[in-house]
Amino acid sequence: MASPVGLTDFIRKFRHFGVDVKVKGSHILMRKTVDRASVLYVAAVHGKKVDPVYVAKARRRFKLLPADGVSDAEFDSA
């Protein structure tokens, strides 16, 4: 099972791939235009950590998976 990701790392990785990320209270608001449509995602923060389920689902939402051309290594090193 993957480990939680630090909030700062989480924000940096998604911003690197053009996702607009804002923290509002205990929620992370994410937005990007994908395939000419505005796409949103909301993740929850727990003690400055982000559960890996949110990383996986946000990568899927914003087309940042290996199937979309972004390898795990490329995402992890961002």
Q: Which is nearer to another protein, 39 or 78 (CB)?
A: 39
Q: Which two tokens stand for residue 74?
A: 């490329």
Q: Is 37 in the site for another protein (CB under 8 A)?
A: yes
CA 20 from centroid of its chain's CA atoms: 10
Q: Is 48 in the site for another protein (CB under 8 A)?
A: no
- As a whole number of angstroms, the distance between CA 73 and CA 40 comes to 24
- As a whole number of angstroms, the distance between CA 24 and CA 44 comes to 10
Q: Which is nearer to another protein, 35 or 77 (CB)?
A: 35
Binding site for another protein (CB under 8 A): 1, 24, 26-27, 29, 31, 34, 37-44, 46, 51, 53-54, 57, 60-61
